[in-house]
Amino acid sequence: MLDIHFIRENVDLIKLGAEKKRIVVDIDHLLVVDEERKFLRQQMDEKRAEQNRMSNTIALSRGEDRTAYIEKMRHVKEGLAELEERHTKVFEEWQKLMIQVPNIPDVTVPEGETDADNQEVKKWGTLPEFSFTPKDHVELMTSAGMADFERGAKVSGFRGYFLKGDGVLLSNAVWQLALKHFTNKGLEPLMVPSLVRRETVMGTGYLPQGEDDLYKTQDGEYLAGTGEVAAMGYYMDEILDLEKLPVQFLAFSPCFRREAGSHGKDVRGLIRVHEFFKWEQIVLCKAEHDESVRMHEWLNRNTEEIIELLNIPYHTVTNCGGDLGLGQVKKYDIELWVPGENTYREISSASYFHDFQTRRLNIRYRDGEGKLQFAHSLNSTALPTPRILVSIVENYQQEDGTIRVPKVLVPYVGKEILGHTA
């Protein structure tokens, strides 16, 4: 959420930012409602001051004067109650409008409407060349006994899956490698809840924009689509010590997404599933743009490095304005080569938000002068499973249907070849 003072003073900039993100929001109406909110608040303050003066007068008066003042006080109270009721309604509308205002994208964010307009900024690795026709991960993992999609759908429904045998070993190996790699970077590991309250989902910006993609319980909690939600809620409504910054978490959690807007997309296999696991990097840092930019590059590079350890070709893209979420200032996507589709597919997103999330979550710190500041927040996918398995098995497949284990994973898997000959 942006500061209302900043919005008032930068109306044209806010409108341009919303236009760049292709987000429709009525800033002019927000400002009208804001003026009404301020006016009512001023009226209430005046009524309360009058009420206080009247109370003192009544305490000192006697007889008929006292009776008259009490009657006057009754009218003041009624007027105040009416103002408070009006203010409550206006304030609720103001809040609904405020949480719809998008953050302003960085000037380096390219123009564009969809992910097709994202701009490549880096390419790494050599695309594999096969002496045979490569198979996709569904065929490979099924024939190798690493996954069962048919029974997954029978038990869980559409997009359901079982990992089994070597599929479990490979997934667990990826988790262990990620834990070692990212904690060596200085991130503190957390196992976080997936069942979260509405306040934390709202605070991280996944509501109201992304409600259709969330699972909700009958008690009003949500199943989070990323460990970022719970990890960001960790310091909600707290004031951090300056010496603690930057806070650097590595959150692990099961994740759940309805994939409501992806009907007909990636219906086979592990690219787009409802239930998965993810390591996520989360950072809270000082409220300085340069610090956010530095941490953003660092987080994204952390993930690039682990992909390079796995020796999987990838490219990194800068997301265009239309492919940014409500709160993101800038975002990188890392996309891995998928031979079965002959294209790159997203595996990681790294974003920074300035104080957009921390204002909603009320996460602050005292700067060197003792002044309270809202921290800046960032997050980046460390590694998601089972999606990462798609690129591993397809890039490391052999003609006989077996899969070589990336060298860096062999100590965790315990063998060099997965599956069995067809």
361-398 burial: b if 16+ Cβ within 10 Å, else e: bebbbeeeeeeebbbbbbbbbbbbbbbbbbbbbbbbbe
Distance CA 311, CA 316 (A): 15
Chain position carrying tokens 């991130």: 187
For 82, the token pair is: 């009416």
For residue 402, the SS3 value is coil
Catalytic choice (48, 258, 272, 294): 272
Cβ-based burial of 249 (10 A; exposed 0-12, middle 13-18, buried ≥19) = buried
For 414, the token pair is: 């315990």
Catalytic choice (359, 360, 364, 387): 387
Q: β-strands 376-385, 215-216: how paired?
A: unpaired
Would residue 156 show up in a list of annotated catalytic residues for this protein? no
H/E stretch holding 90: helix 63-98
Would residue 387 show up in a list of annotated catalytic residues for this protein? yes
Catalytic choice (348, 349, 351, 380): 349
Would residue 348 show up in a list of annotated catalytic residues for this protein? no
270 near 147, Cβ under 8 Å? yes
Pick from 400, 356, 397: nearest CA to 379: 356
Catalytic choice (37, 159, 257, 359): 257
Q: What is the DSSP letter of 254?
A: E
Question: Going by C-beta distance under 8 Å and a sequence separation of 6 or more, which residues neighbour residue 29?
Answer: 97
Catalytic choice (84, 308, 346, 404): 346
Could you give the residue numbers annotated as active site? Answer: 257, 272, 346, 349, 387
